Structure 1
């Protein structure tokens, strides 16, 4: 039995709750203008193995599980 969340029929992960204590904010200011879209973005880990961005309400954005 796997600890990964279920996969929806459209291929996306069904989990919306991040793993507690894994939320982090990216500081990409020193990387330059090319990476400015990443600056200040919040990411967290999902039990499926991905690290998608968080929404304003602290939920995980829709993402597909890693293949392997």
Structure 2
């Protein structure tokens, strides 16, 4: 069974990497839920492409005004 190293590093079992399509050098994100479970997700280039395509900009608003509205100023 894999163990956490002194540097808090973990080694993922090779079979899990094969199933998840994780290769050496791949980037990932990890998340911890309220119960302490860790989820590791492989980053995929372009995965968020089009995510905000439904959002329409308002060309009447300046960049400065837009930034201020986003921070509640």
Relative to its length, the structure with more helix (as a share) is 2
The alignment's TM-score, normalised by the length of structure 2, stands at 0.25
Relative to its length, the structure with more strand (as a share) is 2
Q: Which has the higher contact order (CA 8 A, sep 6+)?
A: 1
The alignment's TM-score, normalised by the length of structure 1, stands at 0.26
- Bigger Rg, structure 1 or 2: 2
